[in-house]
């Protein structure tokens, strides 16, 4: 076991697992044409396509906004809301708690558009879901991913209410490298101070298989992303624990050999020592890619991760929502 995390989603591993879902498509009568279309996408895109086909389309969610928040094409955000008339802010006039999801990919790959399955499977429970991108590869070296997270949240501060999201009830959520981003945005005050949102707006953070304590750097992804920094301790979420941090939900799988479960356990212990609040679940039989896959329909037979997230969201966002403001750009 190495000390550093390797927060990348293996395309080969994820694609292999997704073929199981494609088998379900065939058994369900959706046919070879849908399977061929799905396999033209990348591994996460393949997973999203499979989820969409099993859902019968995107009828349960509506794209409320799609915006660039920077000049780089990766600096973009999509905001989805449920279409259920009991929940749809356009019908009810009430804004919904806002879940901001940040994708993984070793800070070098990933597209928020490919994670619409997160919106399909969480928004219908009563949430606006934003999928936020960030600069990648050379342009995305630390601290670019955190600057972009703050920039996305500045857009939320100014515009989310016009599209059905409540900027006073925000939960950050990420997988792998995206979990690092989400947890750092929640723990290190210098990034939240750039969002133009009050600290009380951040109700919680969900970290899925995230790297939180990965020194010394000993993987290609961490060296490429953080190797230029002199004060490496400052890049680590474990260095920013505080008693007044927002509550954290940390989920890991026992079979994760890419980002070891010790990352969640170590962070939870550090938070407890300083009086912080966290809830930690290490789930049997789940690997690194398998954790994010369990938020998509082909793999919802194991509902443990989704159930933990929905329970946490309900706990931290239970106060009443604000009215939807007039539409704005």
Q: Which of 100, 76, 86 is nearest to 165 (CA)?
A: 100
User: Residue 58 belongs to what domain range?
Assistant: 11-316
Q: Average model confidence (pLDDT) for the chain?
A: 89
Q: Is residue 236 part of a domain?
A: yes
CA separation for the pair 104, 97 (Å, rounded): 23
Q: Is residue 42 part of a domain?
A: yes
Confidence of residue 318 (pLDDT cuts 50, 70, 90): confident
Q: What is the pLDDT of residues 175-190, one digit of tens each?
A: 999 999 999 999 999 9
Residue that wins the pLDDT comparison between 11 and 243: 243
Beta bridge partners of 279: 249
Q: Is residue 212 part of a domain?
A: yes
Q: Is residue 77 part of a domain?
A: yes
Q: What is the number of structural domains in the chain?
A: 1
Q: How far apart, in Å, are the Cα atoms of 42 and each of 2, 50, 56, 76, 101? A: 29, 12, 21, 19, 19
Q: Is residue 271 part of a domain?
A: yes
- Give percent of the chain with pLDDT exceeding 90: 83
Task: Check residue 16 and give its pLDDT.
Answer: 53
Q: Is residue 322 part of a domain?
A: no
Backbone phi, then psi, for 61, in 5-degree steps?
-135, 160
Q: Which of 66, 51, 183 is nearest to 132 (CA)?
A: 66
Confidence of residue 43 (pLDDT cuts 50, 70, 90): confident
Q: Is residue 5 part of a domain?
A: no
**Dihedral-angle region of residue 71 (phi above 0 means left; psi in -120 to 50 means alpha; beta otherwise):** alpha
Task: Check residue 42 and give its pLDDT.
Answer: 55
Q: Comparing 34-38, 100-104, 214-218, 259-263, which segment has the lowest mean pLDDT?
A: 34-38
CATH number where 295 lies: 3.40.50.1820
């Amino acid at each position: 076991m190495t000390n550093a995390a390797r927060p990348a989603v293996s395309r080969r591993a994820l694609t292999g697992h997704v073929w199981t879902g494609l088998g379900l498509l065939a058994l369900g009568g959706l046919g070879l044409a849908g399977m061929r279309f799905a396999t033209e996408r990348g591994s996460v895109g393949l997973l999203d396509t499979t989820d969409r086909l099993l859902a019968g389309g995107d009828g349960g969610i509506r794209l409320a906004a799609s915006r660039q928040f920077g000049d780089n094409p990766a600096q973009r955000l999509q905001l989805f809301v449920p279409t259920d008339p009991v929940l749809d802010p356009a019908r009810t006039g009430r804004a919904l708690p806002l879940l901001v999801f940040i994708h993984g990919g070793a800070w070098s790959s990933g597209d928020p558009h490919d994670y619409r399955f997160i919106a399909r499977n969480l928004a219908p429970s009563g949430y606006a879901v934003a999928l936020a991108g960030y600069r990648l590869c050379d342009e995305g070296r630390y601290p670019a991913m955190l600057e972009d997270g703050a920039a996305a949240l500045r857009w939320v501060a100014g515009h989310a209410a016009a599209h059905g999201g409540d900027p006073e009830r925000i939960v950050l959520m990420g997988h792998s490298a995206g979990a690092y981003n989400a947890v750092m945005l929640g723990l290190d005050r210098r990034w939240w101070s750039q969002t133009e949102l009050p600290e009380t707006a951040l109700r919680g953070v969900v970290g899925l298989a995230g790297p939180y304590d990965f020194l010394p750097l000993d993987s290609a992804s961490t060296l490429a992303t953080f190797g230029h920094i002199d004060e490496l301790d400052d890049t680590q979420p474990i260095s920013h624990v505080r008693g007044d941090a927002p509550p954290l939900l940390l989920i890991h799988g026992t079979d994760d050999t890419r980002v070891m479960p010790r990352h969640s356990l170590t962070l939870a212990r550090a938070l407890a020592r300083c009086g912080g609040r966290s809830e930690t679940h290490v789930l049997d039989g789940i690997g690194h890619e398998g954790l994010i896959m369990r938020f998509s329909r082909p793999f919802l037979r194991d509902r443990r991760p989704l159930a933990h997230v929905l329970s946490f969201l309900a706990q931290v966002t239970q106060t009443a929502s604000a009215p939807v403001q007039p539409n704005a750009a």
